A and B are shown apart, each in its own frame.
Chain A
Amino acid sequence: MANIEIGIRDEVRNVVYEFFSEECEVPRNELSNTTNVIKDLEGDSLMFLELLEIFKKKYKLNVELKTVGKYVVKHPAETIGAIIDMTMLIIEHENNIANLD
């Protein structure tokens, strides 16, 4: 399990905002935690997978895509804020995320 350090949420937030700003060609200051990735940014479902790959490498996470997929089906993350929350859970619990409700 990855070691959650103080300030890591800010780091995740920064990566997520940069990612959506770059990929969706939207200025960062126009994004907020309530921005809906599909409806507001014309994003797509692959974006979360790409972010997951970024964080897997960045934090050397032991997490399988199918495990995250099962969790996401039960707990959809549609906004930027929800994606940041989900990422924090994945970093904290890695494959054990499957055991969460």
Chain B
Amino acid sequence: MKRIKVVITGLNIVSSLGLNLEENWENIVAGRSGVRTITLFDPSHNETRIAAQVPDEFETYAARFCKKRIAQQMTRATRMAFVCAVEAVQKSGVDFNAADRRRCAVILGVVSTGNTSVERENAPRNRIIRNMSNAMPAWISLHYGLEGPNYAVNTACASSAYAIALGYDLISRGSADIVITGGADSSINPEEIEGFNETYALSTRNDAPEKASCPFTKDRDGFVLGEGAGMVILESDESARAREAVIVAELAGYALTSEAYNIMAPLTGGEGMAATMRIALRHAGINAGDVDYINAHGTSTTLNDLYETMAIKQVFGQRARSIPVSSTKSMIGHTIAAAGAIETAITVMSIRHKIVTPTINYHTPDPELDLDFVPNNSRAHKIDVAISNSFAFGGHNATVVLKKY
């Protein structure tokens, strides 16, 4: 069956480095860190007391997008998803009044809506609506009156990359014209942090928050939790061209795999990660030799960064060292369910602006990790093809392949 070409016509990001795409891009290109001491709650009882919180003005900003009553029925994470999606749609120029709404879908990566003890203190009502993991796509569909498929997918840190891939499928097989896809997450709360600390997954560098996320370095001691949302508007090439949309990139293909190895640890030697990248390139019809940039999962944990480096070497061979590989998480932390979509958006911006964004805090190289990690500063670099990796607890792996349009 002939696949319909899938293009991207809108992007948006909410993160610790900004409330929209433009702010985020400027700060990420500048190599700034969004990590700081937690203020969302009193973290003094937690081993980790730092995170990449979305700026404090978010709630005021969000009030422009939805009425108070609706906002009260949403958690902070759901509000991030909603605001991010509405602005992504605006940027795409899609007019749903002119579209067949039954062929417009919403697929989001959602691990949790984050209706935690901190949230419930401030908003004790609407517990079911606020808890529902399908609430994020549901609110977006309600807002626009979209009647196509509408659901959430949970594959932990790969959730929104999975959502993008599933959106690709809907369009490429002709079941939808437009898919709002992405994800949101706000896991900065005492319970999540305590849980991640139990697994030794988080950095405890509380005295130097902005330096704590240092992927691929010898100093890395765990990831930094972030929060935010990322949205990617997928559209059939035909639909986008018919309405003379600005097409920002092509989503050329993807791979979704499961390592079936361990609930937390990645498969030894990065074999699962390598297989995912290989399958994604094959699906996209791209040769490994044509990849110009890799937006790494790059969490700043011991095993992920080691195995991802090994996997890249397995897939790209001798050429691996000449491909820029960078980690957005060095600046905005790990946004869990939002990470795949945020990093896809950054990768698309890199293609459009011919700039690779840096891995900041890269000061002490790990001799075992010897790729070009774009240390500390952005770099001009022409990109025709790029990949973005997402590797999750549970062995859920995803790679998306993006092409210049």
Contacts and interface: CB of A to CB of B under 8 A. Distances in A.
A25 B63 CA distance: 12
Nearest to B142: A42
Interface string B64-79: 0001111001000000
Interface of B: 67-70, 73
Interface of A: 23-25, 42-44
A31 to B, nearest CB: 15
Nearest to B68: A25
Contacts of B70: 42
Contacts of B73: 44
A25 B70 CA distance: 11
Contacts of B67: 24-25, 42
B168 to A, nearest CB: 32
The 9 closest A-B pairs by CB, nearest first: A23-B69, A25-B67, A25-B68, A24-B67, A24-B69, A42-B67, A42-B70, A25-B69, A44-B69
Contacts of A24: 67, 69
Most chain A C-beta atoms within 10 Å of own C-beta, residue among B68, B69, B70, B73: B69
Nearest to B69: A23
12 contacts: A23-B68, A23-B69, A24-B67, A24-B69, A25-B67, A25-B68, A25-B69, A42-B67, A42-B70, A43-B69, A44-B69, A44-B73
Contacts of B69: 23-25, 43-44
Nearest to A42: B67
B127 to A, nearest CB: 12
Nearest to A26: B67
Contacts of A44: 69, 73
A56 to B, nearest CB: 17
Given A42-B70, A44-B73, 10 more contacts: A23-B68, A23-B69, A24-B67, A24-B69, A25-B67, A25-B68, A25-B69, A42-B67, A43-B69, A44-B69
Nearest to A43: B69
A60 B67 CA distance: 31
Contacts of A25: 67-69
